[in-house]
Chains A and B, each alone.
Chain A
Amino acid sequence: MRVMAQMGMVMNLDKCIGCQTCSVTCKQAWTNRAGTEYVWFNNVETRPGQGYPRRYEDQEQWHGGWELNKRGRLQLKTGGRLKRLLSIFASPVQPELKDYYEPWTYDYATLVEAPLGDDFPVARPKSLITGEDTKVTWSANWDDNLGGTSELGHLDPIVAKIRQESEDKIKFEFEQTFMFYLPRICEHCLNPSCMASCPSGAIYKRSEDGIVLVDQDRCRGWRQCITGCPYKKIYFNHKSGKAEKCTFCYPRIEVGIPTVCAETCVGRLRYLGLFLYDADAVTAAASVPDEKDLYEAQMDLLLDPEDPQVIAAAREQGIPEDWLDAARRSPVYALAKKYRVALPLHPEYRTMPMVWYVPPLSPIVDLLSEQGHDAEDRDVLFGAIEALRIPIEYLAELFSAGDTEVIDGVLRKLAAMRSYMRGINLGREPDESIPASVGLSGETMYEMYRLMAIAKYDERYVIPKAHVEQAHDLEELGCSLDYDEGPGMYGPFGEASGRPVPVAVENFQALQQRQTSDEPAGNEELRGRVNLLNWDGNGTPRGLFPPRREEESR
């Protein structure tokens, strides 16, 4: 047994309102550069829907992830090593920009510079790729809130599959009653197929916390990872010619603060914490013959942080005590393994993803309340779960390789929690038969309710800091004591000269300045940039607005 630690995330889909705040703050933090206009490390998809890039889940088309070869061994869906090297000169199935969308801006200058005339000037859309006029026809969430589903619904690979299986009996009815949002980031898999596809070996998994990163200095732009990742969460920066991906905000995680998407989530639906897993067993777990066993195999990889044997093995591997403590308090372990309500996204890709989802009960609840039923009654809910096969099948295709029993079990737990807690809130005697009917004790169910409904910041995010004794080795913390000057003081030759300042140090200084200064927050300068995360809307920080005309002429 080789125990390793893995940072993981759980998202409770019942709470997602599809506001895209996570997408926007992530983009502000990571991909607001030229070359990454179309890159969304975090995106929120409406399901049913095509997703981003379009139809990425159709692996018959995109060949992402792993499959078992004839001898039952794990192999990339794009083929063996030699075959893949021989096809390196033109990737056979790489998505093109049209599968994402052509990023654009507007010709705002016309609005102020157009000569006086009878017609109002119009800011026309301009392509950021060609610079020419363009027609905006698609973007990262174009089918948001089922927009266009009556015409494009059949393009969702999962809808297509379910329809085919039910021999086209089911028409569009369920799409009008059934909808939820699916926020997606990189899965930071235990068995990542992007990494296995990378010819240069530039993609690596950090052995301390399992975060999957692309070494920008070693990536040569062979773009095999883009095909390899079945979630299409590796993007090609078309300016730098390198692959980029979600970093799990490692500079923040290293100093113990949650990722930007989790921090800014309005619905507080994201949980961050540690898993302990057995690294030696990963390949075997990913190679189980039946796709429907993959979920259980993945659960078996997760080790119980309370188990003395696991603790001893973890100590042997040099995992520090405070990390073991964090693993014991981990909300993601609790949701995934203790309560078994969080499921991996598409386990059938055999990548062992480490971002988990609590499937939504709300489509069923909504439907019941609309029809005038009591949506908090256990029997009504259980009956509905059994009756509403289409949503269950759809969720099963997403989270359990088509095994509806798994989804059934999770939704029953959520439904049971709902009616159990209603009884308590109404001051009735707790009905212990409710938790018992889903195999939990009343106490466990209450704990689960606390974690899912009212957990505070430090319960939702249990992030052990990277270790001080390793500080000189860290990408971000390295020599943090050397950076005692404030932001804005960089090198003799102005911006970007001198030594690079870690992002976390920059943010730390900005936060400190904001808390201690008398000036409006946001007035501080970060290498000539403005930190929008810190700006509270007061004052006019330099560099945020273009200079006024008088100032210009001076």
Chain B
Amino acid sequence: MNVLLWGVLPYLVIATLVLGTIWRYRYDKFGWTTRSSQLYESRLLRIGSPLFHFGILVVFIGHVGGLLIPEDWTEAVGISESMYHFNALLFGGIAGFCTLAGIIILVVRRRRTGPVFMATTVNDKVMYVLLVGAITLGLWTTLVAVGAGSEAHNYRETVSPWFRSIWRLNPDVHAMAEAPIQFHVHVLVGMLLFAAWPFTRLVHAFTAPVHYLFRPYIVYRSRDARTPAPTGRPRAGWSPVGTPDRDRSTR
């Protein structure tokens, strides 16, 4: 069971994530969008969205630090385990709660604002369950750790080595199996989220427009530079001509 969960599943998830993203990019560039709903409602969005997005960015950086940097490296530069742990809990906790607060505002907004709810697909709903699940479970691990004080489980001896070992193609199943239950659940839901990622609106994160900082303001493009439009398949996504009335029965 452990081998299946921590030795096989991660590779399935990585394969789905990578191949799914490539597939989506090749075949559904038209669908690759944030699907913003700001046109319908922006008062709540203006609070919830930055809270969530900046929160999750900090959380992401925290995860990179915690999972990728081995414990002896930080100790080598003089950061003791307790100091690291305290900071991780403090900043991770704050960022995590911001993220959670943000997404709760966004979910409530999505449910309570008529037009936004109408524009919500089943795909979105599944994605929200996974996303909120992963965030809440992550905060749970933090809370348990805070409750345990100095006795808290040191995930940098179990989860992190396992995570690094995945990329060395030699998964340290044993290390991960040692971790307490809250980490197991959090990691499982996280893996599900990553597997679903390429097929949801979350793909917009992969095209974060960092190059905006460096590109010229005015973009000239010659017709020559384009790849020819006919590629053997119709361009996806244009809805049919006409504006059909909203039919609730088909939703």
A245 within 8 A of B: no
A79 within 8 A of B: no
Besides A88-B209, A223-B36, A475-B223, 6 other A-B contacts (C-beta < 8 A): A34-B243, A84-B212, A204-B220, A207-B220, A216-B237, A472-B228
B222 within 8 A of A: yes
A sample of 22 inter-chain contacts (CB < 8 A) reads A81-B212, A85-B210, A85-B212, A89-B53, A91-B42, A96-B38, A96-B41, A96-B42, A105-B243, A130-B115, A201-B219, A204-B221, A205-B221, A206-B223, A207-B220, A208-B223, A216-B235, A221-B33, A236-B36, A240-B30, A279-B220, A470-B224
With a CB–CB cut-off of 8 A, which chain A residues contact B215? 201
A177 within 8 A of B: no
Judging by beta carbons under 8 Å apart, are B243 and A32 in contact? Answer: yes
A43 within 8 A of B: no
Judging by beta carbons under 8 Å apart, are A90 and B33 in contact? Answer: no
Judging by beta carbons under 8 Å apart, are A500 and B226 in contact? Answer: no
With a CB–CB cut-off of 8 A, which chain B residues contact A97? 39-40, 115
A273 within 8 A of B: no
Tell me which of B29, B35, B118, B219 has the highest count of chain A C-beta atoms within 10 A of its own C-beta.
B219
Judging by beta carbons under 8 Å apart, are B204 and A90 in contact? Answer: no
With a CB–CB cut-off of 8 A, which chain B residues contact A37? 243
Judging by beta carbons under 8 Å apart, are A497 and B234 in contact? Answer: yes
B87 within 8 A of A: no
Judging by beta carbons under 8 Å apart, are B241 and A33 in contact? Answer: yes
Cβ-defined partner of A473 (8 Å) among B30, B220, B224: B224
Residues from 475 to 504 in A contacting B, C-beta threshold 8 Å: 475, 478-479, 496-500
With a CB–CB cut-off of 8 A, which chain B residues contact A126? 245-246
Query: Could you mark each residue 180-222 of chain B with 1 if its beta carbon is under 8 Å from any beta carbon of chain A, else 0?
Result: 0000000000000000000000001001011111010111111
Segment of A189-197, A357-365, A396-404, A451-459 engaged in the interface with chain B: A189-197
A267 within 8 A of B: no
B248 within 8 A of A: yes
CA distance A282 to B224 in the complex (A): 23
Q: Separation in Å of the B157 CB from the closest CB of chain A?
A: 36
Known: A131-B246, A241-B35. A81 touches B213 (CB 8 A): yes
Q: Separation in Å of the A499 CB from the closest CB of chain B?
A: 5
Judging by beta carbons under 8 Å apart, are A196 and B217 in contact? Answer: yes
B232 within 8 A of A: yes
Cβ-defined partner of B45 (8 Å) among A90, A208, A219, A236: A90
Q: Separation in Å of the A225 CB from the closest CB of chain B?
A: 12
A residues engaging B (CB < 8 A)? 32-35, 37, 81-82, 84-85, 87-92, 94, 96-97, 105, 126, 128-132, 191-192, 195-196, 198-201, 203-208, 216-223, 236, 238-242, 279, 282, 466, 470, 472-475, 478-479, 496-500, 529
With a CB–CB cut-off of 8 A, which chain A residues contact B235? 216, 500
Judging by beta carbons under 8 Å apart, are A195 and B223 in contact? Answer: no
CA distance A375 to B204 in the complex (A): 61
Judging by beta carbons under 8 Å apart, are A32 and B241 in contact? Answer: yes
> Which residue in chain B gives the minimum CB-CB distance to A216?
B30
> Which residue in chain B gives the minimum CB-CB distance to A490?
B234
Judging by beta carbons under 8 Å apart, are A219 and B33 in contact? Answer: yes
With a CB–CB cut-off of 8 A, which chain A residues contact B38? 90-91, 94, 96, 223
B84 within 8 A of A: no
> Which residue in chain A gives the minimum CB-CB distance to B235?
A500
> Which residue in chain B gives the minimum CB-CB distance to A193?
B217
Judging by beta carbons under 8 Å apart, are A94 and B42 in contact? Answer: yes
CA distance A37 to B241 in the complex (A): 12
Judging by beta carbons under 8 Å apart, are B36 and A221 in contact? Answer: yes
Judging by beta carbons under 8 Å apart, are A89 and B49 in contact? Answer: yes
Judging by beta carbons under 8 Å apart, are A128 and B39 in contact? Answer: no
Q: Separation in Å of the B196 CB from the closest CB of chain A?
A: 19
Cβ-defined partner of B50 (8 Å) among A90, A217, A239, A499: A90
Residues from 19 to 38 in B contacting A, C-beta threshold 8 Å: 29-38
B239 within 8 A of A: yes
Judging by beta carbons under 8 Å apart, are B239 and A34 in contact? Answer: yes
Cβ-defined partner of B209 (8 Å) among A191, A220, A223: A220
B230 within 8 A of A: yes
> Which residue in chain B gives the minimum CB-CB distance to A223?
B36
> Which residue in chain B gives the minimum CB-CB distance to A497?
B234
Judging by beta carbons under 8 Å apart, are B218 and A207 in contact? Answer: no
CA distance A78 to B116 in the complex (A): 26
Judging by beta carbons under 8 Å apart, are B42 and A90 in contact? Answer: yes
Judging by beta carbons under 8 Å apart, are B243 and A90 in contact? Answer: no
With a CB–CB cut-off of 8 A, which chain A residues contact B36? 221-223, 236, 241
Judging by beta carbons under 8 Å apart, are A205 and B218 in contact? Answer: yes
B229 within 8 A of A: yes
Q: Separation in Å of the A198 CB from the closest CB of chain B?
A: 8
With a CB–CB cut-off of 8 A, which chain B residues contact A204? 219-221
Judging by beta carbons under 8 Å apart, are B222 and A242 in contact? Answer: no
Judging by beta carbons under 8 Å apart, are B40 and A241 in contact? Answer: no
> Which residue in chain B gives the minimum CB-CB distance to A205?
B220
Judging by beta carbons under 8 Å apart, are A89 and B33 in contact? Answer: no
> Which residue in chain A gives the minimum CB-CB distance to B213?
A81
With a CB–CB cut-off of 8 A, which chain B residues contact A206? 220-223
CA distance A217 to B30 in the complex (A): 5
Which 10 pairs across A and B sit closest by C-beta, in order of nearness?
A199-B209, A131-B246, A241-B35, A196-B217, A221-B33, A217-B29, A241-B33, A204-B221, A89-B53, A199-B212
With a CB–CB cut-off of 8 A, which chain A residues contact B115? 97, 129-130
CA distance A201 to B119 in the complex (A): 26
With a CB–CB cut-off of 8 A, which chain A residues contact B49? 89-90
B73 within 8 A of A: no
CA distance A329 to B109 in the complex (A): 57
CA distance A291 to B46 in the complex (A): 33
CA distance A216 to B34 in the complex (A): 13
Tell me which of A37, A90, A205 has the highest count of chain B C-beta atoms within 10 A of its own C-beta.
A90
Judging by beta carbons under 8 Å apart, are A129 and B224 in contact? Answer: no
B242 within 8 A of A: yes
B114 within 8 A of A: yes
Judging by beta carbons under 8 Å apart, are A196 and B241 in contact? Answer: no
Judging by beta carbons under 8 Å apart, are B33 and A85 in contact? Answer: no
Judging by beta carbons under 8 Å apart, are A128 and B228 in contact? Answer: no
> Which residue in chain B gives the minimum CB-CB distance to A500?
B234
Judging by beta carbons under 8 Å apart, are B243 and A128 in contact? Answer: yes
> Which residue in chain A gives the minimum CB-CB distance to B222?
A207
CA distance A289 to B222 in the complex (A): 32
Judging by beta carbons under 8 Å apart, are B33 and A242 in contact? Answer: yes
